Amino acid sequence: MSTSDRLLLFLHIGFAIFTLGPLTAATMSAPRYIRNRNVTVVRYLHRTTQIYGLATLGIFLFGLALAKGDLAEIWLTVSMTLFVVALALLLIIERDQRKAAHLLEVAAAEEGRAAVPARPAAARTAEGAEKTETAQAPPAPASGAEIAQVERGRLAAMSGVVSLIWLTILVLMVWNG
């Protein structure tokens, strides 16, 4: 193996380690934060998915350079096909993360408008003050669990499938490389 091939292999493995780990963590943890209705974290995970999803192209490009046009090996063809499928699924994951963040923001804005206004201080009694303080808290919506439920389910399923694809590619690389 020449020095340039070793460098390409180093870059290929380095990109795989430093992009697939954070990408998998971001896609797998998004459903939990959607369920907790944490818009800030969902937006952050969406941005992380975008950045690391784009960086995974480096894995493909360095792997393609390592193959040197010898794509007759079935394991290389299968690995590249699975990689393209994973990238297509990542586009759907990114779309669902963006949509879930938007739905959570809209729900939070609606809850803010639906907050119960406080009564004037003169109308409060000792007992009424306690009731008013509890009434000032924004009410939990009855359908709070259903916000972005479809996206949450799709994210959980597709991120699991993408992780299995990454593992399958790893097995093909190790077994046949």
Query: Please, are residues 139 and 116 in contact by the beta-carbon 8 Å criterion?
Result: yes
Q: pLDDT 10s per residue in the chain (177 long)?
A: 889 989 999 999 999 999 999 999 999 999 999 999 999 999 999 999 999 999 999 999 999 998 887 778 899 999 999 999 999 999 999 999 999 999 999 998 888 777 655 555 555 555 555 544 444 444 444 455 588 889 999 999 999 999 999 999 999 999 886
Instruction: Report the predicted TM-score, pTM, of the whole model to 2 decimal places.
Output: 0.78
Asked if 42 and 34 touch (Cβ cutoff 8 Å), the reply is: yes
Rounded to whole angstroms, what are the CA distances from 71 to 57, 74, 79? 18, 8, 11
How deeply is 126 buried, as exposed, middle or buried, from its count of CB atoms within 10 A (0-12, 13-18, 19+)?
exposed
